[in-house]
Chains A and B, each alone.
Chain A
Amino acid sequence: MAKTLFEKIWDSHVVVDERNGRSLLYVDRHLVHEVTSPQAFDGLRMNKRKVRRTDLTFATMDHNVPTSNRSLPIVDQTSAVQIKTLERNCKEFGIELFDINSPNQGIVHVIGPELGITLPGTTIVCGDSHTSTHGAFGALAFGIGTSDVEHVLATQCILMEKPKTFEINVVGKRKNPHTITAKDIILSIIRQIGTAGGTGTAFEYRGETISDLSMEQRMTICNMSIEGGARAGIIAPDEKTFDYLRGRRYVPKNYDELVEYWKENLKTDSNARFDKSFTLRADEIAPQVSWGTNPAMTVDVTGKVPFPEEYAKGNAEEQKAAVKALQYMGLKSGTPITDIELDRIFIGSCTNSRLEDLIEASKVVNGKKISPKMRAMIVPGSQHVKKQAEEMGLDKIFKDAGFEWRESGCSMCLGMNPDILSAGERCASTSNRNFEGRQGAGGRTHLVSPVMAAAAAIYGHFVDVRELDLN
């Protein structure tokens, strides 16, 4: 029977088929961080259980860590306790930890691929919804809750209902891939299918535009699958995937043999059927800017803040939500997006904090100064990204322009560490969620690509990056 890539990986990991749509799946890689794991380790201790496969489990600290000077003690005592707790748990249960001083530390979804922990055809879980990122490598990657973290630690398996398959086709050549980015593609998709469009499904991104993307761009797309409601997002691996991973620290010794197998097997059969399908024409999209309090509340940079009825298209509940969102965001319908003035810029997060994101942003910033009223921050996704960027002199470009150059972590994407917005502050952010209070209580988040955020830093308001000379 013809199968999709998702079905092939699913089927090859079934340990027990319960025949009710639910299966016990084997987990090849388990990534652990400080926020969603303490209660899971407590559960193991209470029941005198061990971690079944310490060799397949990797931990880091990212959500909570300060991004300022790491030689200083952590001021926030509850954060310090959570970080210490992860250290203690990893030691007690024998798990490899990339701690705050490790050269491998970083956002869990940045370091997984960077270290070659993420591999095509594998199942990967992590107690974080953006685990879908790893799907960019042709892995089946799920975000899970803490009870499931405990379940995987104890059994190396996860009990799951099989999601339906959802094909997301992206076709058409972008006029300028430096200005119409992967972020604009995924925001356009979510804007059209809605934040619950993918509920109960796993996305497979396909089409010529996806093939043209670099690995880092593919990660940006898969990362935000959860923002479209999907359990996972996957892209079939190709030469770019295999080249990216070759030689990385944790790839298995039989890598070349694996590549031969992956080439043959990790693709959707030509006559396979998807349960759902959606097509985006990438040649028709503009840079995207979110205006509201969920990622589907997004418009073109050339557009205006919409009227609630225009956004809701007849759905009374959505209309109410739009009224509330405009109020929270302090925006008036009909305002051109490029008239929106900003206070803060955040370039970072598991969506857009990789080397390529920083290179692209630096091209906009090079030789310029940020708007005097602005506070702008670059938070590299990992220590490796930071180091590579510094070797290329990107830190100097950003610092000369007035940006803060930080240590790696999740930082202001969710504001668990001291990097937060004050009430009423407006931020152009390369992160993934513009929920109320996400970046700080009362803070107002606009989701954009790294080049759009960088341009907004210079001009003090949103600008259409297509009008800038980026060569």
Chain B
Amino acid sequence: MEPFTTIKSIVTPLDKVNVDTDQIIPKQFLKLIQKTGFGQYLFYDWRYEGGVPRKDFVLNDLRYKNSKILLVRDNFGCGSSREHAAWALSDFGFRAIISTSFADIFYNNCFKNGILPIKVNEQVLCKLFENESEIEINLGKQTIKNENIDVSFYIEPHWKKVLLEGLDDIALTLKHDDEILKYENAQRNSRIRVS
């Protein structure tokens, strides 16, 4: 996975609450068996009407072309566990998503695909929705900055490390092979064995 560095970009504001993963990537695109190429289908039903880009949808607004940061409202990514949602966001070019809250499975899926989901409070979120200039996200320092904004955010140390170093978490877990074997052996000898 590509390590996460500091990003500086204009912010794409998607002013909606409870955006579910069915909207992020509609079901007709879940049949592909690779991880790439989902960006063209991101928010498909909101982005296109009869195959033509809808002028009133923010992803079609040229001001936000090449934006790496998506700004959304509460409970982003709720519903289905489909990781295709994270693949589509990443393939489209988003490296960070800012909201007041994320659904749990989606939140996890982001980190596994090099996307930084940032939780901020309501006040900061409103300020970001009002802001129209570029912002800089520094993961190392855990800050969001520009000439008008200077806030810090919390990120769990494990995820910070994974993103900064672009780590493969399966390789990390396999370092615990001894412990996994020990657990399995204890189960094998147990009278109440289930695994």
Contact A317 B193 (CB under 8 A): no
Q: Can you name the residue of chain A whose Cβ is closest to the Cβ of B23?
A: A436
Which one of A29, A39, A76, A127 contacts B34 once the chains associate, using CB atoms below 8 Å? A39
B173 touches A147 (CB 8 A): no
Query: Are A47 and B170 in contact, with the CB atoms below 8 A?
Result: yes
Pick the contact of B180 from A49, A155, A320 — CB < 8 Å?
Answer: A155
Give the residues in chain B near A437, CB-CB below 8 Å: 22-23, 26, 45
B25-40 contact mask (Cβ, 8 Å, vs A): 1 or 0: 0111011111100000
B122's nearest neighbour on chain A, judged by CB, is A317
**Would you call B192 an interface residue if the criterion is a C-beta within 8 Å of the partner chain's C-beta atoms?**
yes
- Any chain A CB within 8 A of the CB of B195? yes
List B residues 50-103 near A (Cβ within 8 Å): 73-75, 78-83, 86, 101, 103
Decide: A196 near B101, CB < 8 A? Known: A39-B33, A128-B81: yes
Q: How far, in whole Å, are A415 and B34 apart by their CA atoms in the complex?
A: 20
A184 to chain B, nearest CB (A): 21
Contact of A435 among B20, B31, B170, B195 (CB under 8 A): B20
A229 to B74 CA separation, bound complex (whole angstroms): 12
By a CB distance below 8 angstroms, the chain A residues around B147 are none
Q: Does chain B have a CB within 8 A of A151?
A: yes
Find out whether the CB atom of A81 lies under 8 angstroms from the CB atom of B169.
no
Check: A60 CB closer than 8 A to any chain B CB: no
Name which of A156-164, A279-287, A363-371, A397-405 contacts chain B. Answer: A156-164
- Tell me which of A38, A144, A155, A433 contacts B79 (CB under 8 A): A433
Contact status B180-A416, CB under 8 Å? no
Chain B 160-189 per-residue mask, 1 if CB under 8 angstroms from chain A, else 0: 000000001110011010011001100100
The verdict on A122 contacting chain B, using a C-beta distance below 8 Å, is yes
CB-CB under 8 A from A144, the residues of chain B are 81, 105, 108
B157 neighbours in A (Cβ, 8 Å): 20
Contact B45 A145 (CB under 8 A): no
Contact A28 B195 (CB under 8 A): yes
The answer on a CB contact under 8 Å between B22 and A229 is no
A294 near B80 with CB under 8 A, answer no
Residues of chain A within 8 A (CB-CB) of B184 are: 26, 156
Q: Report the minimum CB–CB distance from A43 to chain B (whole Å).
A: 8
- CB of A317 within 8 A of CB of B74, answer yes
Cα–Cα distance between A47 and B109 once the two chains are bound (Å)? 20
Interface residue A257 (Cβ < 8 Å from any Cβ of B): yes
Picked from B80, B104, B156, the residue with its CB within 8 Å of the CB of A200 is B104
B113 to chain A, nearest CB (A): 7
> Contacting B22 at CB < 8 Å: which of A42, A231, A435?
A435
Please, how many angstroms separate the alpha-carbon atoms of A226 and B80 in the complex? Answer: 9
Tell me the bound Cα distance from A195 to B168 in angstroms: 32
Docked-complex contact B18 and A159, CB < 8 angstroms: no
CA distance A163 to B158 in the complex (A): 16
Beta-carbon contact of B31 and A154 below 8 Å: no
A38, A39, A49, A156: most-surrounded residue (chain B CB, <10 A): A39
What's the least CB distance linking A16 to chain B, in Å? 5
- Which B residues are CB-close (under 8 A) to A82? 31, 33
Q: Are B105 and A143 in contact (CB under 8 A)?
A: yes
Of B33, B74, B105, B180, the residue contacting A129 (CB under 8 A) is B105
Q: Which of A53, A79, A122, A143 contacts B194 (CB 8 A)?
A: A122
> Does residue B17 face the partner (Cβ distance < 8 Å to A)?
yes
Q: How many residues of A contact B (CB 8 A)?
A: 76
Bound: A286/B30 CA distance, A: 37
Residue A177 CB within 8 A of the other chain = no
A265 nearest in chain B by CB position: B192
What separation, in Å, do the CA atoms of A78 and B33 have in the docked complex?
9
Report how far A163 CA is from B105 CA in the complex, Å: 12
Tell which of B81, B101, B168 touches A36, judged by Cβ atoms closer than 8 Å: B81
Query: Is A318 in the interface zone, CB < 8 Å from B?
Result: yes
Interface membership of B16, Cβ < 8 A: yes
Instruction: Tell me the complex Cα distance, A119–B195, Å.
Output: 11
Whether A435 contacts B23 by the Cβ 8 Å rule is: yes
CB-based contact A294/B18 at 8 Å = yes
How many Å lie between the Cα of A161 and that of B104 in the bound state?
Answer: 10
Query: Residue A330 at the B interface, CB < 8 A?
Result: no
CB-contact partner of A199 in B22, B104, B194, under 8 A: B104
CA separation between A157 and B20, bound complex, in Å? Answer: 27
- Choose from B27, B81, B101 the contact partner of A415 (Cβ within 8 Å): B27
A143 to B22 alpha-carbon distance, docked (Å): 16
Alpha-carbon separation in the docked complex, A435 to B103 (Å) = 15
B75 to A, closest residue via Cβ: A196
B192 lies within 8 A of A257 (CB): yes
A36 to nearest B CB, angstroms?
Answer: 7
Known: A28-B194, A81-B31, A144-B81. 7 other contacts (CB 8 A): A26-B187, A78-B32, A122-B195, A128-B80, A129-B80, A227-B79, A252-B193
Residues of B within 8 A of A (CB): 15-18, 20, 22-23, 26-28, 30-35, 45, 73-75, 78-83, 86, 101, 103-105, 108-109, 112-113, 156-158, 168-170, 173-174, 176, 179-180, 183-184, 187, 191-195
Complex A-B, nearest 4 residue pairs according to Cβ-Cβ distance, in ascending order: A147-B112, A38-B33, A145-B83, A145-B109
A-B contact pairs, 23 of them (CB 8 A): A22-B158, A24-B176, A28-B194, A28-B195, A42-B33, A121-B194, A145-B112, A147-B113, A148-B108, A154-B173, A156-B184, A161-B156, A163-B104, A196-B18, A199-B104, A231-B104, A317-B73, A321-B16, A321-B18, A324-B16, A415-B27, A433-B22, A441-B26
Interface residues of A (CB under 8 A from B): 15-16, 18, 20, 22, 24, 26, 28-29, 35-36, 38-39, 42-43, 47, 49, 53, 56, 63-64, 76, 78-79, 81-82, 85, 119, 121-122, 127-129, 143-148, 150-151, 154-157, 159, 161, 163, 195-196, 199-200, 226-227, 229, 231, 252, 254, 257-258, 261, 294, 317-318, 320-321, 324, 414-416, 433, 435-438, 441
